[in-house]
Structure 1
C-alpha cells in the first residue's frame, strides 16, 4: 500500500454534534475534527449518513461541509456527500453545490440512482448522466448507504467507475470478502479506491488489496484502525489480535447508533450532548447501552496498551 496515496487508510464517517435544541454545535464540531486528526486519520468523510445528512437542510449541509474544510485547514483531505434528493435534476444541483465547496471528492449515494425494484441498467444510465453533469475538477465517489434502502453496486457499475477516470472512492458496505476482492481487481490500475465500512472483514479485506476503512467505529477508536491499516503487513500477529477485538467491538454500533457514538464523544468532553435528529436518546440511556459501550472502549484501551499501540 502506497503511504503517499491520499485515499488510503482511515476515513471516519463524521458525526454532527447538536445542542439541546438540536441545532449544530459548532464548538463541539471543532473538538471532534481535532480529535480525529490527533488519532492520525488519513481523511474525513463529512456530511454522510452518520452526520444525519437526511435530517439536515441543504443549506445546513453546505455550511457544515465548509466548516469542516475551514477547520481542517488542509491537515487532511475531506470528502462529502449530501446526496439525498430523489429527482435527478435536484441531485445534480445538490452535488454541484457540494463540489463548489472545495472538497476533494463528492460522494454519491448508490440508492439515489434507482428505485428498489429497478435494475442496474437504470443505475448505470443515471450515474452516467450525473457524472457528465458534474465538473471534472472534483473527484467523485459512491457510498452504498443503507438508508433509505441498501443498493449494492454491480460489477458493471464498479468497472465503469474505474474506467471513467472520474472516481476516487467507493465506501463498500457489502461485507463480503469475495465481492470486495472482485472490486479490488476491477479498480486495479485506476484512481478508484475501495474503503471497507465493515470492521469484521477489515483485516482480510486489506489482505485482499482493499485500500482502507471508512466505517462508524472510527468514531470510537480511530487510532486502533489507523494502526491496523498502517501495520498489518509488518506486524501480522499483532494485527490478528487487534482485528479480533475490533471485530467484536463493532457490535457496539447496534446500541442505538449514532446515540452511542455521541455519548462516547460526550464522555471524552468533545460533545456537550448526545442529541440526534435521527432518533431520541431515551431508549439508549434507559437500557444498558452506556455501560456496554464504555466497557468495550476500556477493553480497547487495554488491548492497545498490551500490544504497544498508542491509544
Structure 2
C-alpha cells in the first residue's frame, strides 16, 4: 500500500491485548483489528501510548507489527511507533518495525534528558534520513517533557523530514498554528495534521485538521468515524452531538481510584475492560507494573458503555 499524503480520517492507536501471563494475545489482537476495520477506520497506529508500547519488550513490539500487517493484507495503512529515549535506540526500532511491514513510523522527541529544539530537529533529521517510510512526529509533552514548537514542526515539514504530526499536547493554539501553516504554505503540501485528543475532534477538524488518533476509538470506532463524516459533511450540529456523546463515554478513564493507581492504569484499564465487556478481547489485563481495576471499577466501565448505547 502507498502511504497517503496527507493521511486523513480516524486512525486509532490500537490497544495491545495481553494474556494473563502478559504475553501478546494474538487472537484477541486480530479480533480487535477486525472490530476497528468493521467500524470504518482509515488506518491503524500500533505501538503508541494507548498500545502500552513503553511496557512491551522489543520482541513483543515486533510481533504486534507483524501480526497486524499480515492480517490487514494492505487494506489500511499501518503506522508503528518507534518510541525510545535516544536517536540510536529509535533507529533500532525503525529498522525493526519497517522490516515487519509498517508503512510509516511515529516518533517522539528524545526524552529522559531534556533536549534543545536544535537537538530535537537533529533527532528527526537523522531518523528520517535512515527511515525507508514516512516519519510522523508525536507531540506528547506530558510523557517526553518537551513540547514540539509549531515553527520547528513546520520547518521539518517544509524540508520533507516529517510527513505529519500527531498532536497530543493539549495546546490548541500551537495546534492551530501548525494546521494553518500546513494549509497555507506551498512547501508543506501533503503534510498531515492529526489530533490525539478524544474530546475536541470536532473542533480540530473545524480548524482544518486532517484527522484524529483517539484512543477511545478502540471502544467505539463507529462513533468516531460517524463524527468524522459529520464534520466533513459540514453537519456541525450533528457533529457536536456525537462529540458530546463520546465525551461522556470518555468519562470511563476516570473510574480508577487515584489513591491507589495512576491515570494511565485507570485509562488503559478502562479501555481494555470495555473491550472485554464488548466481547472483543479475552482478557483486560494491562502490562506490569500498572495496577488493575477492581470489579467495582469494571462495573462502572460497563455503565459508561450502557449509557453510550454500546452494551
Report TM bin, short chain.
0.7 to 0.9
**2:172 matches 1:177:** yes
Question: Does the Cα contact within 8 Å between 1:111 and 1:144 map onto a contact in 2?
Answer: no
**2:113 matches 1:115:** yes
Question: Does the Cα contact within 8 Å between 1:13 and 1:216 map onto a contact in 2?
Answer: yes
CA RMSD of aligned residues (A): 2.2
Q: Is the alpha carbon distance of 1:280 and 1:108 closer, same or farther for their aligned partners in structure 2, counting shifts above 3 Å?
A: closer
Which deviations, in whole Å up to 9, do the C-alpha atoms of 1:209-264 show, x marking residues without a partner? Answer: 01111021112111111111112243222111112222333232233121111111
Q: 3-state SS of the aligned residue for 2:309?
A: helix
TM-score where L is the length of structure 1: 0.86
**2:302 matches 1:294:** yes
**2:284 matches 1:274:** yes
Q: Give the CA deviation at 1:175.
A: 2.0
**Partner in structure 2 of residue 19 of structure 1:** 19
**Partner in structure 1 of residue 261 of structure 2:** none
Alpha-carbon distance in structure 2 between the residues aligned to 1:140 and 1:177: 22
**Partner in structure 1 of residue 146 of structure 2:** 151
Q: 3-state SS of the aligned residue for 1:80?
A: strand
Which deviations, in whole Å up to 9, do the C-alpha atoms of 1:161-187 show, x marking residues without a partner? Answer: 211224223111122332221111222
Q: Give the CA deviation at 1:144.
A: 2.2
TM-score where L is the length of structure 2: 0.86
Q: Is the alpha carbon distance of 1:259 and 1:139 closer, same or farther for their aligned partners in structure 2, counting shifts above 3 Å?
A: same
**2:162 matches 1:167:** yes
Between Structure 1 and Structure 2, how many residues are aligned? 293
Alpha-carbon distance in structure 1 between the residues aligned to 2:166 and 2:71: 24
In structure 2, stretches of 5+ residues that fail to align are 256-265
**Partner in structure 1 of residue 294 of structure 2:** 285
**Partner in structure 2 of residue 265 of structure 1:** 275
Question: Does the Cα contact within 8 Å between 2:55 and 2:288 map onto a contact in 1?
Answer: yes
Q: Is the alpha carbon distance of 1:192 and 1:179 closer, same or farther for their aligned partners in structure 2, counting shifts above 3 Å?
A: same
**Partner in structure 2 of residue 211 of structure 1:** 210
Q: Give the CA deviation at 1:22.
A: 0.9
Alpha-carbon distance in structure 2 between the residues aligned to 1:41 and 1:150: 30
Question: Does the Cα contact within 8 Å between 2:269 and 2:286 map onto a contact in 1?
Answer: yes
Q: Is the alpha carbon distance of 1:65 and 1:164 closer, same or farther for their aligned partners in structure 2, counting shifts above 3 Å?
A: same
**Greater CA drift, 207-216 or 267-276:** 267-276
Q: Is the alpha carbon distance of 1:87 and 1:196 closer, same or farther for their aligned partners in structure 2, counting shifts above 3 Å?
A: closer
Alpha-carbon distance in structure 2 between the residues aligned to 1:206 and 1:251: 22
**Partner in structure 1 of residue 259 of structure 2:** none
Alpha-carbon distance in structure 2 between the residues aligned to 1:50 and 1:14: 7
Alpha-carbon distance in structure 2 between the residues aligned to 1:54 and 1:176: 23
Q: Give the CA deviation at 1:97.
A: 2.4
Q: 3-state SS of the aligned residue for 1:301?
A: coil
In structure 1, stretches of 5+ residues that fail to align are 303-310
**Partner in structure 2 of residue 193 of structure 1:** 192
Alpha-carbon distance in structure 2 between the residues aligned to 1:151 and 1:279: 25
Q: Give the CA deviation at 1:275.
A: 1.1
Alpha-carbon distance in structure 1 between the residues aligned to 2:61 and 2:191: 25
